[in-house]
Amino acid sequence: MKCTRCKVRAEVHLRQHNAGFCRACFIFYMQRQVERAIDKERMFSKEEPILVAVSGGKDSLALWDILIELGYRTTGLHLSLGIGDYSDASTRKTVDFTAARGLSLITVPLTDEGLAVPTVTGFTNRPACSACGTLKRHYFDRLAVDRGFPVVATGHNLDDEAARLMGNVLHWQMDHLARQQPVLEPTHERFVRKVKPLYRISEYESAVYAFFRGIDYIVDECPNSVGATQLLYKDMLNRLEAASPGSKLTFVQDFFRKGRAAFVREETAPPQTCERCGMPSFGALCSFCKLVREVETKRERRRSAAVVGGHS
């Protein structure tokens, strides 16, 4: 196959677009795709400072690379989640990427805050992915608003969005369907805009991009995600994609264009303010503070039990 742009031998074949690209044209194509998504969905402008959430994986590092190449003003935000070797390696890849390119990075070590993911799950019996999601959402919002960033960009790709949509549809999660979109506008003064510039880019495309650009990323999946239903949906969607190229893109794109509006309800009340941390909440405490309080209570209870046990 020949490159769709320059007619030399193609190195990548994208069946969903019925196109092929050589290395240089693929890099150009990816950057153009992302730029178009940013402009079309009005994600952010060249003047706005953007906080990019980087995990050390291919998607978020590819996203950061593309944003820099396109001339956006970016700062990275990395959470060290404390999930053993996996988190250590993720932090190392992120820090190395940042250092090699002289970029600015904010790192939050959750272990120092007593909130490493295994600690939290150990004290609360919550599923690891749910606790981790609560921690991430809280720190993304809080750091963005405290440091004056109007927007947070994440590396969620087409496969992530298709799997999430599949899960939301299978369980008819009406509220989640209403909120699943490439740009989430703030509904509270301590929320910022959340955007997913890679929502049309497949996992395969972002892996190829990272490889062509020489980005060293963490290949391992999070150990907590093994067996997660998201992976089951991804596998199923990949089989559908192999039989019918373009299915994933149509599923997600047409949901955003046509389907989502059917789930949006006018009367949804805006969030209140958390009485403990001042961030948005549904109820007196936000989900982060509920989680922290649960950890503190259980930690205290165990400490007292240990003291009593020690005296007896």
> Coil, helix or strand for 52?
strand
Contact characters 96-135, ligand AMP, x per CB under 6 A? ----------------------------------------
Q: Which parts of the chain fold into alpha helices (H)?
A: 23-40, 58-69, 84-101, 117-124, 128-146, 158-170, 174-179, 203-212, 229-243, 247-254, 287-311
Give the residue nearest to ligand AMP (CB): 155
Q: Is 183 in the site for ligand AMP (CB under 6 A)?
A: no
DSSP 192: -
For residues 236 and 284, which CB has a smaller minimum distance to ligand AMP in the complex? 236
Q: Which parts of 217-276 interact with Zn ion (CB under 5 A)? A: 274, 276
How deeply is 154 buried, as exposed, middle or buried, from its count of CB atoms within 10 A (0-12, 13-18, 19+)? buried
277 binds, among Zn ion, ligand AMP, none (CB under 5 to 8 A by kind): Zn ion
Distances (CA, A) of 250 to 16, 91, 167, 198, 259: 10, 35, 16, 15, 11
Nearest to 55 by CA among 104, 89, 99: 89
**How many residues in the shown chain lie near Zn ion by CB under 5 A?**
6
Q: Does 54 sit near ligand AMP (CB under 6 A)?
A: yes
What is the C-alpha to C-alpha distance for residues 72 and 299, in angstroms, rounded to an integer? 44
Is residue 55 a contact point for ligand AMP (CB under 6 A)? yes
Provide the minimum distance between the beta carbon of 186 and Zn ion in the complex, in angstroms, as a whole number: 16
The nearer residue to ligand AMP, 135 or 295, going by C-beta atoms, is: 135
Pairing of the two strands 73-80 and 151-153: unpaired
Q: Distance between CA atoms of 189 and 279, rounded to whole angstroms?
A: 9
- Report the greatest alpha carbon distance in the chain: 81
Residue 41 φ/ψ region, left for φ over 0, alpha for ψ in the -120 to 50 degree band, beta for the rest: alpha
* Beta carbon of residue 85, minimum distance to ligand AMP (angstroms, whole number): 14
Give the interface segment with ligand AMP, choosing from 19-27, 73-81, 203-211, 253-261 (CB under 6 A). Answer: 73-81
State which of positions 76-115 bind Zn ion (CB under 5 A).
none
Which is closer to Zn ion, CB of 57 or CB of 280?
280
Helix axes 128-146, 117-124, angle to 10 degrees: 130
Instruction: Choose the stretch contacting ligand AMP; rule: CB under 6 A; options: 6-14, 26-34, 75-83, 266-274.
Output: 75-83
Two tokens, residue 9: 């031998």
77 or 128: whose CB is closer to ligand AMP?
A: 77
Query: By the 8 A CB rule, do 288 and 135 touch?
Result: yes
The interface partner of residue 276, options being Zn ion, ligand AMP, none and the CB cut-off 5 to 8 Å by kind, is Zn ion
For position 60 contacting ligand AMP by CB under 6 A, the verdict is yes
Ranges within 136-175 binding ligand AMP (CB under 6 A): 136, 154-156, 160
Q: Does 289 bind Zn ion (CB under 5 A)?
A: yes
Q: Which does 289 bind (CB under 5 to 8 A by kind): ligand AMP, Zn ion, none?
A: Zn ion
Choices 78-86, 163-171, 176-184, 234-242; region in contact with ligand AMP by CB under 6 A: 78-86
Which residues contact ligand AMP by CB under 6 A?
A: 53-55, 59-60, 77-79, 81, 136, 154-156, 160
Which residues contact Zn ion by CB under 5 A?
A: 274, 276-277, 279, 286, 289
